[in-house]
Amino acid sequence: MEPLDPSGAPSFRACGLVTLTTDFGLVDPYVGIVHGVILARASGARIVDLCHAIPPQDVARAAYFLAHARAYFPSGTVHVAVVDPGVGSARRILVALDGGQAFLAPDNGLLAPVLSAEARVRELDVPRFALPGTGRTFHGRDVFAPAAAALVNGQVDPLSAGRGPQLAFQRTELPRARLDGASAQARVLFADRYGNLVLDARAADLGDDPSRWVVEVGGHSIGVLGAYAEAAPGAPLALVDSFGSLEIAVRDGNAAQCLGLGSGDRVNLRRIR
């Protein structure tokens, strides 16, 4: 069983695992340097590169990925998310404890869709963890990495790494389609590397039988199927993806290119009899 603190909430027992979610990309050495700082202070840490291909400054995309990924990691994991348009400003860095996992992220709305209502959140005590000579442009290296190392090696727990009482942090919600009876307008959240268009509609929005819905876009009326292989090669289809979101795909093709759609574009959903 997960250890509990005196309040009855899950406490933190580091399991040696750190995940990294950033918009750093893999062309420059930034990710490797963050690894180096963590491992220099916690040599036994296991680092999972959850995603470094977040589009630059796309806080919502980082929140979407981390919110869906956290359930697949064990208690004691330290999640570090550095998509930080406000780096070097007066924005705070958050440290949170939620469900026995620790989270480090800037206070820019990234953690709001990730954390549960029971999460306990503090402002990170930055001077306590920051590297000597910390600059204003690379807090992933200078602040997040050493703080993550202190958490993953059990030197501190998330709440003692912060300062002050429970924090009222910046809130933001991921876009969500609103269904009105038998129709709705949904928005494309993003296209994945296959060109599949992930929408802001969820399986739960479609009732017990998603196949009773079609997606209408660009003169196409696209049925909701159970798997990519159920469509003919080159044909468009919609399905509920592995994150429970509705997406538009093209069998053996690229829906974003074929349909000319991208982030922010809107499509119509219609329930059929």
**Rounded-to-integer distance, Cα 210 and Cα 48, Å:** 34
Q: Which fold has domain 17-163?
A: Rossmann fold (3.40.50)
| Residuewise pLDDT in 10s, the chain (273 residues) | 445 555 555 689 999 999 999 999 999 999 999 999 999 999 999 999 999 999 999 999 999 999 999 999 999 999 999 999 999 898 999 999 999 999 999 999 999 999 998 999 999 999 999 999 999 999 999 999 999 999 999 999 999 999 877 766 766 777 777 777 788 889 999 999 999 999 999 888 888 888 999 999 988 899 999 999 999 999 999 999 999 999 999 999 999 999 999 999 999 999 987
SS3 of the chain: CCCECCCCCECCCCCCEEEEEECCCCCCCHHHHHHHHHHHHCCCCEEEEEECCCCCCCHHHHHHHHHHHHHHCCCCCEEEEECCCCCCCCCCEEEEEECCEEEEEECCCCCCCCCCCCCEEEEECHHHHCCCCCCCCCHHHHHHHHHHHHHHCCCCCHHHHEECCCCCCCCCCCCCCEEECCEEEEEEEEECCCCCEEEEEEHHHHCCCHHHEEEEECCEEEEEECCHHHCCCCCEEEEECCCCEEEEEECCCCHHHHHCCCCCCEEEEEECC
Q: Which pTM value belongs to this model?
A: 0.91
- Residue 227 has a CB neighbour count (10 Å cut-off) of 10
Residue type, 107: D
What's the rounded Cα separation, in Å, for the pair 245 and 242? 7
Q: Which CATH class is domain 178-271?
A: mainly beta
Supply 166's token pair.
């429970």
Domain positions in the chain are 17-163, 178-271
